[in-house]
Amino acid sequence: MMVEPAVRISQGSKFFGEICAFRSINLQVPEGQFLAVVGASGSGKTTVLRCVAGLERLSGGSIVAAGRPVTRPDPSRTYVFQDYGRSLFPWRRVAANVSFPQEMRGKGRRVARERALGYLELVGLRERADAYPWQLSGGMQQRVAIARALAAEPSMLLMDEPFGAVDAQTRMELQLALLRIWMELRKTVIFVTHDIDEALFLSDRIVVIDSRGQGLAMDEPVDLPRPRSHAETPRYDLYSEMRASVLRLLLREEGSEAPHAPTTQ
């Protein structure tokens, strides 16, 4: 019996007027996989993620998640934005931010807070439960955003360059925290990034979107052993080879012009 993937994109295309965001994307993501999506600037990687989330509608093709066509946002797929400052409610304390999805599901405040504290424990911020977001560092705010996404109890996390706005040290800490959470919960993760090293460090598999409208330029497993560490890189030969392959593709893609929408007679 064939196992239904967490997400299946079939001949997915998206146009904004005459401008092509992406075209001819075919992609299946198994349950529990950590997939990294990279691409040249303007290749449409964030738009692909937004379409999977149901925040955008495809111009052509289809997306199926958990066996159902994606036509709108669904709590089974939660989205973590790069701009954590805008995604949190500044008037709510940290625990109240994280408990919000539970409250929307009809849980009482006490139960919602208890569950929120559990997710804050998971991201290492239980002791900051009664602080306001503006009292936290950028990295801490993004941890709160991840905890809130988890509190929705989704089957899938969609992450749009979530660590792009923090410093290098904080980024490494957040990467390790995310891997620890993923190893424990085994959610399906689709992670958009422009950072090749981040993609290779985190993921089971990496895809590169072809900005010339030819679907995927690369779709390869990342066969590096787990658990992973920033301090050492087992199979450095494989890591170096994959990094070079992705970099060559991206450099080539950066020189490509985005295609236009097909004309109709």
Q: What is the pLDDT of residues 216-261, one digit of tens each?
A: 999 999 998 888 888 877 677 888 888 999 998 888 766 654 444 5
pLDDT greater at residue 191 or residue 240: 191
pLDDT of residue 235: 77
Per DSSP, 3 falls in state P
Q: pLDDT tens-digit profile of 36-52?
A: 999 888 889 999 999 99
Q: pLDDT tens-digit profile of 95-132?
A: 999 999 999 989 998 999 999 999 999 999 999 999 99
CATH number of 1-76+170-265: 3.40.50.300
pLDDT of residue 255: 60
Could you tell me which of 191, 199, 209, 198 has the C-alpha nearest to residue 254? Answer: 209
Could you tell me the pLDDT band of residue 136, with boundaries at 50, 70 and 90? Answer: very high
Q: How far apart are the first and last CA of the chain?
A: 45
Query: Could you tell me how far CA 70 lies from the centroid of its own chain?
Result: 17
Phi, psi (rounded to 5 degrees) for 111: -65, -45
Q: Which residues on adjacent β-strands are paired with residue 16? A: 19
pLDDT of residue 30: 97
The two beta strands, 19-29 and 68-69, are unpaired
pLDDT of residue 236: 76
pLDDT of residue 265: 40
Where are the domain boundaries for CATH 3.40.50.300 in the chain?
1-76+170-265
Alpha carbons 152 and 86: distance in angstroms, whole number: 18
